[in-house]
Structure 1
Amino acid sequence: MQRPWPLFLRIFALMLGTVMLVQVLNFAVVLLIPPPMPVIFTANRVAAVARTGHDPGGLLKAELSSGPPRPSDNPRDSRLAASIATDLGLARDKVTVDTERSAMPMFAGALRPPLPMGMGRRQPPPPSFDNALFGPFVVSIEAPNGRWLVIRPARSTIGPWRMRIILWFLVAMAVAAPIAWALARRVAKPIGLFAAAAERLGRDPRTDPLRVSGPPEIAEAASAFNLMQERLNRYVEDRTTLIAAVAHDLRTPLMRLSLRLEKAPDDIRASSEGDIQEMSQRIGSAMAFVRDMTRHVRRQRLDLRSLAESVTDDFADRGETVVLHPGSAMTMEGDAPSLKAVLANLVGNAVKYAGHADVQLRRERGLAIIEVSDTGPGMAPQDLARAFEPFFRAEQSRNRDTGGSGLGLASVRAVARGHGGDATIANRPGGGLVAVVTLPV
């Protein structure tokens, strides 16, 4: 199998081919559209137009202007002005000629037609062209009423020849644009694939690896990305297995301590049994947390509002005060058991510490937002930053009798981030807490 070209060589060859194609088109312009010879006007013809006010051939136009003309420092313009003034019988200062003026002064030099051979702008022309005007020029003649008669070529600066040049330029752009578009797409597509793969990896570390194909650079980068994904999964699995093994092995010494306490005095046995029971509950919660985080999730289309209704109905059936605000269906792709556990955790916390829960679901900018609020005692500001830490419990409102193991909010944030979202908690201005979970729809 032939090895594909490296991406560097592909881009280099495509750019080189595009430049060569444009140069071929430019060379074709020179061969196929030669510049026309300029229309030459004599000083006598300009003087005749000044006398009658119009040009029989329609190539010159005359109009009155109130402003004085711009003086010219070109010696040839001075000679032409003197020749026209002599023909009209006027004083030299009554006529000015400016052969540099154009409808677009900035581009006048580029748009002027080529001068006949031997006629430089600053060099004195041959005798046969002493009375010749061509290209963009302006002749200003002072009238008796103080106004100025301005005579200039009637044809616009952009004539048919220049229009053909512009049309050829547009054709060249139309030919080169698809090549540039294909090049940009070719370069940007692998970057987009890597961005999508990174986003999928953030949602689900066990997502399918990237397909290794394309130029050698892209294939090498895809292989490195897949290797990184494999190492990350192995790293997480090793740590998770270690935690699960430690939690499981701790049950054996706890069991031995329980047996030994049977022979201890009653006061020591009572206090120690409570500590052992709490440790057993924490170990069980840790193992359940690890089991939930390591199980293979199955993403599917689901209605988040239906999940919320099932959770709130379960709490209402138990006699708890839970309100779900009405709204439209909210479909998304996710793991139904995990999201249901998130809702149950948040609603359960609100009911446990405030006696009621207020649930709202809404959609904003492509995100599904779950808000669970209450009017309970809230949390101290220093505890809010640690609320999602495993085994953390705020002692101000949660104690060993009423509080849980401290893994509920940690599990909520883990599930939310596993779906590409996040979870936050804050004190409400009117009192109580509000937990917000954002999930991409």
Structure 2
Amino acid sequence: MKRHHVFDSIAWWFALNVAGAILIALLMCMVFVQFAGVWAQPSVESAGLIEQAAGIALTIDKVPATERAQLALKLTTPAFATQWYPQRDQVPISADHDKKEHDTRWVKLTRMLGRPDAGVLASSPDDVAANAANALRKYAIAIELSDHSWIMFDTAQRSWGIARGLQILLTILFLLLSSGIIASAAGRRLARPVQRFADAAETFGAGSRAEPLPLVGPLEIREAAAAFNAMQERIQQLMDSRTEMLTAISHDLRAPLTRMRLRGEFIEDNEQQRKLFRDVDEMQAMVEASLAFFRLDGQQEEMTRFELGELIHTVVDDFRDMGQPVESAHLMPLVYLGRPLALKRVLTNLIDNAVKYGSRALITLSAQNSQVIITIDDDGPGVPPSLIPKLFLPFFRIEASRNRATGGFGLGLPSARSIMRNHGGELTLENRQPHGLRATVFLPNASGDV
């Protein structure tokens, strides 16, 4: 796969995602700050100040000057405050904020007053004169009365019911929270192709065939995914070729074994004939066991959802029907995503070993965190600790004679562990106290339906 241009690289892709996350976070912050500002300091129009100011100005203009200050205080409401000033220079609004002739708001106000030449001053938090020591930090209107005194109205600042410092703190917390949420979403989007790659590698490393990775994302990720898909395919072909070769060798051994048995019929010494037939039968059984092992290793049963507790019940009932001392306890209902036939073979093998070497079997099922745990306990003598790891080696048996009357050929436990690892799980053995052996099956509970 060839590189096309720099804009397809992971660096550019990362930069675009980060820039997009920053822009979205800034937009959210601007919207919040704007909303908070408008709510805390409503505009003249939204507060209905123009109409109320005109009505109050007409009323106060008719009241004697000595009573205007007291009346103004009485007319103060939660929506706006009213103050009367005898002189222009007492009004905390600079002359720079005189009414504009083209502003329809003030034209409307002077018409309502019936005095088009009336002086009107207006102020907002954004255009306060920097040199005004007593300047207002909110929306305000000052109207000149007929005797050249002034009545001023300013909108009340809403406090959200909390102190100013806490308001600032909440605003900062919102900025940090929104930025964190956006950054987290952008991070997940950036990490998603890499996470898919890691999951596929883990699945394939556990022995299962992972689905081919989709070729999406920046150029470097697509190249790595394509290389992984090709590597997985080559390794799988090598494994399939190995299995086919070993299966063919085991199959081809049948013909010479059959010829040996036929030629053994012509041996006149009965004792030698019996020993030869016994060896031929043992070799034949080993070949059949090897064929079964290799076929199982190469099979890939489809994943499906099934009731794991019911599967264990079925296996237990099969052994009970044969008169075997097998019991189950704490088989909680659990829907599992896996390969039921393969798991049934594992349970059958482990229970059969427990009955054969430990006189009885007790099976339990539980779920802990993200794992499903199945235990099979027996009452046998156990196994020397130094030999437990060797039990998972193909063809290894503690009883070295390989007598078919005392067991199989040492392929059951290796096959069971292979199946468990294909599920992403594990199979372990440990001695119990005071005696007995415990086989524990660990399975990943990816379905989570407990």
Q: What is the TM-score of this pair, normalised by structure 1? A: 0.62
> Where in structure 1 do 4 or more consecutive aligned residues deviate above 4 Å?
13-23, 162-179, 396-399
Structure 2: which 5+ residue stretches go unaligned? 30-162, 446-450
Deviation of 1:345 (Å): 0.5
Q: Structure 2: how far apart are the matches of 1:19 and 1:300?
A: 43
Aligned to 1:103: none
Aligned to 1:388: 392
Deviation of 1:380 (Å): 2.0
Are 1:222 and 2:225 an aligned pair?
Answer: yes
Deviation of 1:168 (Å): 8.9
SS of 2:302's partner is coil
Aligned to 1:243: 246
Distance 1:398 1:316, change over 3 A: farther
SS of 2:442's partner is strand
Aligned to 2:33: none
Equivalences for residues 185-196 of structure 1 within 5 A: 185-196=188-199
Distance 1:177 1:360, change over 3 A: closer
Are 1:277 and 2:281 an aligned pair?
Answer: yes
Deviation of 1:178 (Å): 6.3
Are 1:287 and 2:291 an aligned pair?
Answer: yes
**Amino acid paired to 2:226:** S
SS of 2:8's partner is coil
Aligned to 2:313: 309
Deviation of 1:294 (Å): 1.5
Aligned to 1:348: 352
Distance 1:292 1:436, change over 3 A: same
Q: Structure 1: how far apart are the matches of 2:24 and 2:274?
A: 92
Distance 1:16 1:210, change over 3 A: closer
Distance 1:259 1:181, change over 3 A: same
Q: Structure 1: how far apart are the matches of 2:404 and 2:22?
A: 76
Aligned to 2:204: 201
Render the CA deviation track for 1:158-194: whole Å, top value 9, x for unaligned.
x98x999989977876786566445423332222111
Contact kept, 8 Å, 2:427 with 2:440, in 1: the verdict is yes
Aligned to 1:357: 361
Contact kept, 8 Å, 1:374 with 1:432, in 2: the verdict is yes
Render the CA deviation track for 1:412-441: whole Å, top value 9, x for unaligned.
111111111000112212112111111112
1:254 counterpart (257, 263, 268): 257
Deviation of 1:381 (Å): 2.1
SS of 2:406's partner is coil
Q: CA RMSD in A?
A: 3.3
SS of 2:323's partner is coil
Deviation of 1:326 (Å): 3.6
Are 1:333 and 2:333 an aligned pair?
Answer: no
Deviation of 1:310 (Å): 0.9
SS of 1:213's partner is coil
Distance 1:204 1:333, change over 3 A: farther
Q: Structure 2: how far apart are the matches of 1:354 and 1:22?
A: 65
Contact kept, 8 Å, 2:355 with 2:361, in 1: the verdict is yes
1:184 counterpart (183, 187, 197): 187
Are 1:408 and 2:398 an aligned pair?
Answer: no
Distance 1:183 1:276, change over 3 A: same
Aligned to 1:367: 371
Distance 1:383 1:398, change over 3 A: farther
2:300 counterpart (296, 300, 307): 296
**Amino acid paired to 2:198:** A
Deviation of 1:10 (Å): 2.7
Distance 1:356 1:398, change over 3 A: farther
Are 1:234 and 2:234 an aligned pair?
Answer: no
Render the CA deviation track for 1:298-339: whole Å, top value 9, x for unaligned.
111111111111111111111111111143212211111111
Aligned to 2:444: 440
Deviation of 1:399 (Å): 4.3
Q: Structure 1: how far apart are the matches of 2:339 and 2:241?
A: 24
Contact kept, 8 Å, 2:381 with 2:436, in 1: the verdict is yes
Q: Structure 1: how far apart are the matches of 2:336 and 2:25?
A: 50
Q: Structure 1: how far apart are the matches of 2:332 and 2:381?
A: 32
Q: What is the TM-score of this pair, normalised by structure 2? A: 0.61
Deviation of 1:215 (Å): 1.4
Q: Structure 2: how far apart are the matches of 1:181 and 1:329?
A: 36
Contact kept, 8 Å, 1:361 with 1:371, in 2: the verdict is yes
Distance 1:406 1:165, change over 3 A: closer
Q: Structure 1: how far apart are the matches of 2:273 and 2:173?
A: 94
Aligned residues: 308
Q: Structure 1: how far apart are the matches of 2:322 and 2:356?
A: 13
Render the CA deviation track for 1:336-360: whole Å, top value 9, x for unaligned.
1111111111111111122211111
Distance 1:397 1:348, change over 3 A: farther
Distance 1:198 1:271, change over 3 A: same
The farther-off stretch of 242-251 and 400-409 is 400-409
Contact kept, 8 Å, 1:373 with 1:432, in 2: the verdict is yes
The farther-off stretch of 335-344 and 287-296 is 287-296
Q: Structure 2: how far apart are the matches of 1:400 and 1:308?
A: 27
